[in-house]
Amino acid sequence: MATQPNAPVLLGRRGRLELDEVLAALIVDGRISAEDAKLLRQKARPQRAVRNVIDVHPLVLIANAEVLDRSEPVRPLSLERLTQWLADKAGLAYLKIDPTKIDVARVTQIVSQAYAQRHRILPVKVTPEAVHFASAEPFEAAWAKDLAPMLRRDIVRVVANPIEINRYLAQFYGVQRSVQMARDGAENSPGALFNFEQLVELGKGGEIGADDRHVVNIVDWLLQYAFEQRASDIHLEPRRDSGRIRFRIDGVLHGVFELPPAVQNAVTARIKILARMDVAERRRPQDGRIKTRSAGGARWSCASR
């Protein structure tokens, strides 16, 4: 009588995960039935036609079908539960990405965005001894062997939600690129701090100059990021060497990002404009309000002081 293979044997045979092998492993583990697997394959067909790679990750396809977890029938197989299961099968730690605990400026210096996207990895922590990378492809590890000698550090791999990896890849590298370009612009133009305010004043009569687009991107990201993290306050704290941005979440302040002083001043000026405050006033306290929309279309507003 033939014996059933263990779930780990079924996974990662070609490195990158495939839907059929993930379904087979879930059946072996008693998380879905053979009938569930058949239904999942049928539902996955139209989604697999989508060219965006993250949309066709097997865990995303399975989670989108909202089938019940046979080990706990009252709960669906959510993407987070599937990610935890995959981490266990791979023998790696599971990570729920908390962006407020990631030093974005530091991790984005480790590898380029193109490299990270090609291998579907997200650097999440850097220490003198090791670099921690989140991945949803735990059986594809050749990149780690290549990277370790280049970085002269150990590579620690963890498993995380593939959609979150994709989202934070775009956010982290996008905001860091905007910060760098804004800083380069400030360094190349000694009057950049004043030029930004002048551009905003000119913009009231028509269009704002293109030179401030990176600062606009930073502020847009900052407001959206605060909304996603359910922050009650955004603190912009100027310091001599670098400006610090912190969010208050559930009563606790969390460091989010550090900006070069020139960029922080421009970001502050941009926020003043959005809040209809006097950009030139730097001593007297002012009150303002910003109204905007989230990525999902929800309207929200925040007070500025």
Cβ–Cβ under 8 Å, residues 231 and 100: no
pLDDT value at residue 84: 97
Phi, psi of 143 (to 5 degrees): -60, -35
> Quick check: 261 pLDDT over 70?
yes
- Pairing mode, if any, of strands 121-126 and 93-94? unpaired
pLDDT at 183: 62
User: Is the confidence at residue 11, as pLDDT, over 80?
Assistant: no
More confident residue, 162 or 194: 162
Tell me, what's the pLDDT at 50?
54
Residue 293 tokens read as: 């929309």
3-state DSSP helix/strand/coil % of the chain, to nearest 5: 50, 20, 30
pLDDT of 2 reads 38
Report pLDDT digits (tens) over 62-75.
Answer: 998 889 999 887 78
206 pLDDT more than 80 = no
| 229-251: pLDDT as tens digits | 788 888 888 887 778 888 888 88
pLDDT higher than threshold 60 for residue 60? yes
Q: Is the overall model pTM greater than 0.75, yes or no?
A: no
131 confidence band (pLDDT: 50, 70, 90): very high
How far is CA 206 from each of CA 199, 200, 212, 213, rounded to the nearest angstrom?
Answer: 10, 10, 15, 15
Q: How many CA atoms lie within 13 A of 37 on its CB side?
A: 16
Q: What is the pLDDT of residue 101?
A: 85
Burial (CB count <10 Å: 0-12, 13-18, 19+), residue 167: middle
Residue holding tokens 């998380």? 31
Asked if the model's pLDDT at residue 279 lies above 50, the reply is yes
Per-residue pLDDT at 208 exceeds 60: no
Specify the higher pLDDT residue, 54 or 121. 121
- pLDDT-based confidence at residue 296 (cuts at 50, 70, 90): low
SS3 39: helix
Which whole number is the average pLDDT over 193-219?
Answer: 48
146-164 confidence digits (pLDDT tens)? 999 999 999 999 999 999 9
pLDDT for 136: 95
pLDDT classification of 204: cutoffs 50, 70, 90: very low
Exposed, middle or buried: residue 41 (CB in 10 Å: 0-12, 13-18, 19+)?
middle
Contact between 28 and 7 (Cβ < 8 Å):
yes
| Element of type H or E holding 258 | strand 252-259
